[in-house]
């Protein structure tokens, strides 16, 4: 058994692990990263964010081709299979792996591929695919092992027609009808992807509203456009059992309904990847979803062990995970790069996409904060008209007395890009956070960003 000594060992090479490793290495620490795949990138690159967003982009292009009158002059609408569009995602994954591998090499970070577990608080044992065991001794360890789809014991995920958000990437055909159980972010995104390919989708939601953490108006818009694309949304439903048959899957609901489809995609929750870490050897406990509790400095109950990313729970976003990992390493190296990551925009890659930051109308009303609303509809924006992307809206919520921006909510083309302009102004101190910024600043024309100026004038015109 070979023994290696490091200042910091990072478990996992997803966004949180990469952020932690890079920050520690930049601070002059000797760093090693362990991943259970033979390639870096974590679930984000191989199973989650990258493949699903690449799939979405391809489907969006197909939908635009099939609905744009300009393309009808070239030929008839085309049908693409799920495996066809998956090929584009595979190309992106390969490029991401190559880029991220070079980051570790440039920063002299050692990468071990194998299954890691704690022997004690400062020793990590790595079982390599060859069976060889490597022992890594470190002053500090950062756990960034991510998460995987939650799998209830009463569902047979070995059935060839039952998938979760990881195994769906191995789908070799395009179902005519698909049940998606779980209408959270992942379920809603895949409902958009499959319906865009012409699949009839039954989206089962155990709540009474899609993505209820969103502004109500944005949630309603998403529901409308999913339904408009042949997604049947069933609210307030819970499964009783899932029956796999030779020709597909039958979903039995507690309400007495039965739904049959060619396949079922389970998208109901995630579990932290902690079960193989040997946490019982060091006294760290996890909750019912396998997640580790940390303090605001991302330190666990063991003083030299930190955790970041999906393995700690909220907000379970790649963007936040990277910053959490970087901040965990900042706590370790004490180089003033630590911050508690709570200023996180939502980025939901449905078709059309959604992004928001700050408070929504319901929250402001409940808090009795006097706010006003400014809106810009994309159908009136020149750039959206040029791009054949008329669906969408930018909504700014601001304090009617101080003009401070309290929330930004966007639905439509480039929403996840547009939101960052509002985020930048919201983060300014004092009077610099003002909706007047948007009327006193010249925006390029035509752009989607110009929606801020239109929305600001709309909101200011409501004041008296």
Q: 231: helix, coil or strand?
A: strand
Nearest to 115 by CA among 264, 269, 12, 2: 12
Does 43 show up as a binding residue in the annotation?
yes
Q: Cα–Cα distance between 267 and 178 in angstroms, integer?
A: 13
Does 51 show up as a binding residue in the annotation?
no
Does 267 show up as a binding residue in the annotation?
no
Does 375 show up as a binding residue in the annotation?
no
Q: Cα–Cα distance between 266 and 186 in angstroms, integer?
A: 10
Does 40 show up as a binding residue in the annotation?
yes
Residue 136 and residue 4 in contact, taking contact as beta carbons nearer than 8 Å: yes
Q: 292: helix, coil or strand?
A: strand
List Cα–Cα distances, 299 to 143, 330, 353, 461, in angstroms: 10, 11, 34, 48
- 215 is written with which tokens? 């502004």
Does 147 show up as a binding residue in the annotation?
yes
Q: Cα–Cα distance between 171 and 148 in angstroms, integer?
A: 18
Does 36 show up as a binding residue in the annotation?
yes
Does 392 show up as a binding residue in the annotation?
no
Q: Where are the alpha helices (DSSP H) in 107-203?
A: 185-196
Does 145 show up as a binding residue in the annotation?
yes
Q: Which residues contact 105 (CB under 8 A, 6 or more apart)?
A: none
Does 114 show up as a binding residue in the annotation?
no
Does 38 show up as a binding residue in the annotation?
yes
Does 66 show up as a binding residue in the annotation?
no
Does 182 show up as a binding residue in the annotation?
yes
Does 39 show up as a binding residue in the annotation?
yes
How remote is the C-alpha of 242 from its chain's centroid?
27
Does 189 show up as a binding residue in the annotation?
yes
Does 325 show up as a binding residue in the annotation?
no
Residue 370 DSSP label = -
Helix (H) or strand (E) holding 93, with range, is: helix 82-106
Say how many Å lie between the first and final Cα of the chain, rounded.
Answer: 76
Does 75 show up as a binding residue in the annotation?
no
Does 183 show up as a binding residue in the annotation?
yes
Q: Which residues contact 61 (CB under 8 A, 6 or more apart)?
A: none
Which amino acids are annotated as binding site, given as ranges? 35-44, 53, 145-147, 182-189, 269, 310
Which amino acids are annotated as binding site for FAD, given as ranges? 35-44, 53, 145-147, 310
Which amino acids are annotated as binding site for NAD(+), given as ranges? 182-189, 269
């Amino acid at each position: 058994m070979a023994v290696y000594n490091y200042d910091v060992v990072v478990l996992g090479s997803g966004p949180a692990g990469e952020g932690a490793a890079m920050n520690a290495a930049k601070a002059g620490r000797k760093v090693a990263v362990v991943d259970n795949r033979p390639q870096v990138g974590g679930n984000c690159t191989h199973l989650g964010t990258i493949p699903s967003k690449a799939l979405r982009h391809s489907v969006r292009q197909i939908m635009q081709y099939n609905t744009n009158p300009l393309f009808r002059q070239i030929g008839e609408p085309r049908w693409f299979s799920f495996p066809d569009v998956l090929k584009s995602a595979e190309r992106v994954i390969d490029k991401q792996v190559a880029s991220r591998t070079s980051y570790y090499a440039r920063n002299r970070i050692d990468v071990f591929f194998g299954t890691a577990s704690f022997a004690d608080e400062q020793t990590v044992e790595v079982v390599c695919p060859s069976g060889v065991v490597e022992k890594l001794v470190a002053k500090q360890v950062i756990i960034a092992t991510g998460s995987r789809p939650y799998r209830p014991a009463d569902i047979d995920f070995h059935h060839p027609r039952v998938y979760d958000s990881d195994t769906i990437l191995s789908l070799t055909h395009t179902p005519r009808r698909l049940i998606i159980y779980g209408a959270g972010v992942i379920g809603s995104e895949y409902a958009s992807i499959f319906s865009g390919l012409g699949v009839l989708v039954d989206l089962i939601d155990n709540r009474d509203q899609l993505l209820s953490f969103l502004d109500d108006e944005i949630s309603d818009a998403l529901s409308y456009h999913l339904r408009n694309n042949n997604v049947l949304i069933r609210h307030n439903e819970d499964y009783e059992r899932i029956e796999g048959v030779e020709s597909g899957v039958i979903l039995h609901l507690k309400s007495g309904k039965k739904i049959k489809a060619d396949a079922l995609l389970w998208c109901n929750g995630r579990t932290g990847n902690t079960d193989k870490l040997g946490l019982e050897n060091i006294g760290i406990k996890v909750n019912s979803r396998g997640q580790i509790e940390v303090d605001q400095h991302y330190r666990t109950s063991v003083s030299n062990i930190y955790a970041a990313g999906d393995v700690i729970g909220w907000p379970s976003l790649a963007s936040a995970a990277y910053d959490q990992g970087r901040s965990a390493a900042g706590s370790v190296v004490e180089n003033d790069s630590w911050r508690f990551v709570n200023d996180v925009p939502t980025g939901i890659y449905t078709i059309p996409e959604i992004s928001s930051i700050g408070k929504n109308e319901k929250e402001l009303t409940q808090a009795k904060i006097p706010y006003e609303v400014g809106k810009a509809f994309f159908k009136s924006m020149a750039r959206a008209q040029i791009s054949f992307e008329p669906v969408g809206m930018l909504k700014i919520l601001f304090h009617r007395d101080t003009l401070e921006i309290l929330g930004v909510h966007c639905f439509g083309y480039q929403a996840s890009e547009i939101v960052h302009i509002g985020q930048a102004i919201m983060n300014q101190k004092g009077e610099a956070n003002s909706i007047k910024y948007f009327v006193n600043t010249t925006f390029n024309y035509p752009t989607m960003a110009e929606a801020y100026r239109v929305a600001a004038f709309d909101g200011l015109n409501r004041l008296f």
